[in-house]
Every structure is written in C-alpha cells, then in structure tokens.
Structure 1
Amino acid sequence: MSVRRIDPHAERARRNRLHPRHHEFARPAWRWTSSEGVTRVNPHALGAIGPNGIRRIDRSGASVEASPVSASQASAEPARRQIVIDQPAGHIVVVPELPEGRLGDHDKDLFGLARQLADGRDLAVTAITFLSGVTGFEDAGADRVVDLAATVAEGYDPQARLSALLAVEGALAPQHWVFADALPDGGDLGRRFGARLAARGAADARPATRVWQLNDGRTLSRAGDRQDILRDVARVLLALPECAEPVSETRHEARRIDLAATGEASLTAADPATPAGVIDRGRVAVDPQEIPLAQAPFILSAGRGVSDWEGYHHAARVLGASEGASRVAVDDGYMVRTRQVGATGTFVTASCYVAVGISGAVQHLQGIAKCQRVIAINNDPSCDMVKRADLALIADGDAVLAAVCERLGQPRDGDGESWQTEESQHAAA
C-alpha cells in the first residue's frame, strides 16, 4: 500500500505566490482564459503517468489538479529540445555585455529577442565575445559563437572592437545586429557601429535604440514621456533589459566558428577610418558606499544578528563592498533607510550578495531575487535565508567577519585575540 506523503515546505511555497521559490512548486496551469475571452487548454499538462508507465489523457484536468508536485520533480530542470542548424540561411548577431566574464540577465534577454527574429526563418543566432572561456551560450540560445579574444585586447578599446565587428559584418553579412542599450559598453559600441555602417552607405543603418518589445514584425522603442516609437526592424538594434523572455525550452549548438580561417575577412586588419590615440588608463577607484545600492555589484548586508557594527563597517571597507541592511536593522537605527534591501526598500542585482545575520523575510528575499550569488552567514540553519543561499555558513556573523579581515591581513584593533579565542573554543567543542 502506497502512502502519499506531502512536503509541508513545498505546500507552503506553492500556496504563497510571494514566496521566492513559488515558481518551483507551482503546478502548471492547464486551462486559462485569454485576453480575448477564449478558453485555452494546455494539451501537454493534461493527463498523468499511471502505475504501468503509460501516460493517460484526462481532458477534464482532474488528474492535473490531483497530482502532487514533489520537491525532486520541481527542483529538476526540465529537459530542453536540442536545436541544430547545419546550414543557416543567414545570421543574427548578438554582442552580449558579459559582466564579470559571464552572461548576465540583460544578455539572456538579448538572446531571447534574437530568437524571436530568427525562429521560423532558418537563421542562426551568432554570439560575439571578446572574452575567452565564457560558457552558457548553449542554454542562452546561440547557434554559433565567434571568439574575438585573440584579436582584440582586454580593456577599453572601442575602436579595436569596432574594427573587429566590421570584419564580422564583411564575413557574415548578418541580417540584424543586437546590442545592449547600456552605457558605456553596448550602447556606445552599437551607436558607433550603426554610424560606421551609415558612413559606408549601408541601407537602413540607423540604429533602433531603447528597444523594449518586438510586435508583429516591428519594434517598439521607449521615447521617454512621449508615445513609444513604432518602426520596422532595423539592422542594428539596441535593446533594453527585459526586452524579451530568455530562452528556456530549447538548447542550441553554440558551434565555434573561426572567421579568420575561412579567408572571407581579415579580423586583424585595421579599419581605415579608425582614428588612433585611444589609451586605456585603467579603472578609476570608486568608493563602494557612493555606488547606488541598486547598481552595486558586491553587497555586504547586515541584519539583527549583527551585534558588532564597528566590525561590520570595517569588514565592508576591507572587502570593498557596498553596505546593505534588512528592514529590522534600519528600524533599530543601525543603518540609514537608503541602505535597506527588499521589497520595502531597494531591489538589488548584485553579482555577490552576502547576508550576515539576516533571517530572510519574504520582502527581503524578493529584493535579492535577481542576485547571481547569495552567501548567508547565520546561526540558524533552518532560516529562509540559508535555504535561499547558494553558500551558507552556520556560524556567528561577527566572528566570521573578524576572521575574514584577519585572513586578509587587515584585522581591526583587538579583533585578532578574540577571534583566536573563539576559534579554539569552537575546536574544543
């Protein structure tokens, strides 16, 4: 006799739409009403697999509503359809931003927009990268990848990148170019590229900027307070974040191609119209506390579990992190309101978010939903922040921060002896 067992944590997450893991446990909608008032039915969601392993179709939807969603099934990533294009009819080139050497959320949106342009036309979505060793193009939706890291040096050199892109234009003759409309990288490079194509006499070279949607074969661009601009799809598109849904149902080949080996274009040849004299002087040091919290790449956030606030501020200075806080820490007066993270404060998109002594209220978890990596330091192994974190340290936050500063060679005065005493007590226990 089989006993149906229910995971109470999964059930609470499924019933609470505000829970950060609600989408993992929510059952797929099998019937809904469209905006036109027409009832739609998802045929893939109808039915269930019986004890003999055969899928039975039940158009009433009763089996869908009755079947529980186990945590193992919900956490497993669904299988993606493999897409291979051997002989593409053309190319749609995407130039991703690649913050910190990996695909960001904006980059994935760009590939989603390119897939809307390519699907149904036998076109290959080709990614251009100026960094070597970047992964994830297969799941992002790239059919081809052109690695220009060997021809363009690292650092700020827009003219060299522009010359390489013009060589790619001569080799592949793409139907569309997709850039991120973000300064100073994709927005500047895309506008330079469109201006150079116009100078060469290319048709429809004027870029479509601030693109946020593709609708019926035309693009919609944000125009501030004015009405959105509707125009035909240009050759050069500069798209905003969330311009399209990222690719989630298909997996692509991401085949590496070497344009220099084909002999169609010389990627090392300099553009005759390229002016010389651009010198990269390196990055300018910026105080992390002056960076807006919504744009900070590295945030060290504190909650009620922090008692040594001087040690916390010292750790933030040593690590070069922007300071954040939970609502409780702000209400207690330890941090200013502008540093509050969460749905009632600031939504952050940091590459690394370290939560020290934060239990993880729903509003706080909503505010860090788009952070790439979350590290939790907490004494409570069952708190929601530990469950959300990619890496969790079950320890006292003050002691961990003091140990990190000491390991980096910048201990706060008087911290070294107290940390070593606590470490010896912990080892003895």
Structure 2
Amino acid sequence: MMRIRRQRRAPSAPATVPRIDPRRHEADQEAEAVEKFGASGLPRRDPHKSNGHRLRGELRTARSTTRIEPIEPLPAAPQWIALADDVSWIVVVSLSEEPWPDAERELLGAARKVADEIGGGVVMVRVGVQDPAADFGQIGADRAILLPLTTDPDVLARHVVAVMERFKGRHVFFGEGGADADVARRTAILLGERPATSLHLLSAERATLQEAGGRTEVSRPLPRVATLAQGRFEAHEGSIAREGRRIDLKFDETTPGVRDLGIVTSSQFDAPLGEARFIVSAGDGVTNWDAFRGVTEALGGTIAGSRQVVDAGHLPRHRQVGASGTLVEARCYLAFGISGAPQHLQGVQRCRYVIAINTDLHAAMVKRADLAIIADAQQVMPALARLAGGPANV
C-alpha cells in the first residue's frame, strides 16, 4: 500500500509584521516603505484627520507663511547730557558777530576737551548777534549766556568776571585776535591773573605756547585766563549733545568814570625787544657803557646786546638779540661794535633797516647793514648823542 508523505509548513508570521517577498527587488521594497512610513520612519499622518490640536497663530504647513504682527517702537529718550551746577566750569567767550564761525567752534572744542578731563562743564558766553533758535548743546556747551552788544571792552571784561564769579569758573578761554584778545587781557587784570596767550596745545594741567616768532615753545601750568591760537584745535564732534541750557544774568551796564591825567612821557629804554621799533645794540666792541646808555636814551631807543655782552654780565638775559635770544622786527637796528655772528644775524633778519658801527670793514654785520660807519664805537657814541641833544658830558 502506498503512503502519501505530507510536507510540514512553517507557522505563519503574526499579522502585525508585514511579509517581505524575497523575490521582489530591494529597491522597490525601500520605495514602498518610504511612501508608507515617510523618510523618518514614522507613519504619515493626514493633517485633515487630526484630533483638533492646533498651534496658536496661523502656522499650517511647511509651505504656509507665518504672520507676525509688527510691534510699535517705544518713544526714544532725549539724547543729551545734563550736569549739576556744582561741577567745575570752563568759560568760553566769543565776540564774533558771525553765527558759529570756525574760531568759535575751535574754542568750544578745546574747552570741551579740558572739561571732560576734569569731569566738568562748559559755559558759552556769546556777545553780539543773538539767535533765539540757536542750539548751544549741539556744539558742546552745557550752559549758554547771551550778553548785550557793546563796544566798550571794559564793560565786557566786567561781564566776564561776573560770569566767572557766578559759576566759580576754573578757566576762561578767548580767541587770540581782535577785540577778543583785548577783552581777555582786561579780564586777566580784573582777576589779578597772568594770562597765557596764543596757546596751540593744552590739557587740564599744562599749556604750550610759542614765542620768538614761533621758533620757541614754552610750557607752563594752564593759567586761569588764556587765549587760543586759531587753527590749532578741533571742533567738538560728540555723538551725544549737551544740555545747552540758557542762563539769564543781570549785568551792570554803567561805565566807571574816567579821569584825564594828562600826557605822560614814556621811555622805550626798557621796552620788550619783541615790541621795540628802534633798537640800539652793543657788542664786544663797546667798552664805554656810560656812553652807550647815554646815546640810547638820547636817541629814544631800546637797549639790547649780543650774546657775548650778556654772557659778560653787562646786560640781562632778556636783552639778548639772536637765535638763542629774541628775534626782533624793529624798524631800525643800530649796532655798535657787533661783528655779526650767524646766530645774531638770524635775530635781526626781519629788521627793516640795519646801521652798523665797526672798525672792521669786512665784518659780517657791515655786509648786512644798509648803512655802515667804519670807526671806533667809543668815538661815535658821544658824538651821536650830542647831535641828538643828549647830555653834554656824554
């Protein structure tokens, strides 16, 4: 009898596990899985069949745009700096009739630099044209005082002193030139201060000025009253403006009485060499000093000398003419017994006329002179004094 052998079948896989047909290509299976479950491996969800949970706003799909309502900006706070009244103050005085000239901006820039170094403020005193709409804070002033227009420099100087007393001003700056410089010097006299003029460098501690025709620099502590050279300082360019508050002060407009004291004869004998118009100078060739002083007084000149004379002690150091002394610009320079060293010739190169008295025909001073007398100075000086109406015993 023939038996039929039955083949056993493997138990079927659970219904939750999808069957994989080994005969299908692997690429087709992978594409089918992506289509069914997505690239992330998570089953896809139909957004139209969601359970009702929604995000706030209008976020819908990746292809939808997000709408954000604009927020109105808050009003900006005022961008300026205000100072209390008890700080150190730098006073700036301007007599310009032009609104905001370059020289005035330079004054304010220099004052602003010093005030920032000491943690203080700037008081702007303006004389002349008054613009009611002028913004003093934009150019660096914390306080502003407008003075009535007047041509009396003494009245203006007293007004400036009143401002200095009101604010307890530490320094006051003027421009070097014209009426500004005149009022500056009168203000210094009223305050009992020694001013510094034509400053071209300054800080809260030091001031630098030029002397001897701009060839010599002198540094000194910054005084209370100073004039500033034009074109040496930069205007204030701060990004934040200052307060620029206007202050009204009452000033006394009366002018003190003036008394005529008559004509006073002044002597140019000891006048500063930088201001002298007629200079009588001595060199090594002078041995009779009484005659030299007599002829200088008889001619109405200003006494001076060479370096050799000063080094010998015949004249003080501030009477020395030359590159290492004072560069003079006299209308006439009368030289007794001066050979003419190069440094001395540098000191007299701006003189209009030079007269030389010397025994050496080939001396450098004789070559430089417009008029020369070849003779001994000791003989020429008494004779010249007598011709000028000097004392008979000279």
Q: Which TM bucket (shorter chain)?
A: 0.3 to 0.5
Structure 1 length-normalised TM = 0.39
Higher-Rg member (1/2): 2
Structure 2 length-normalised TM = 0.42
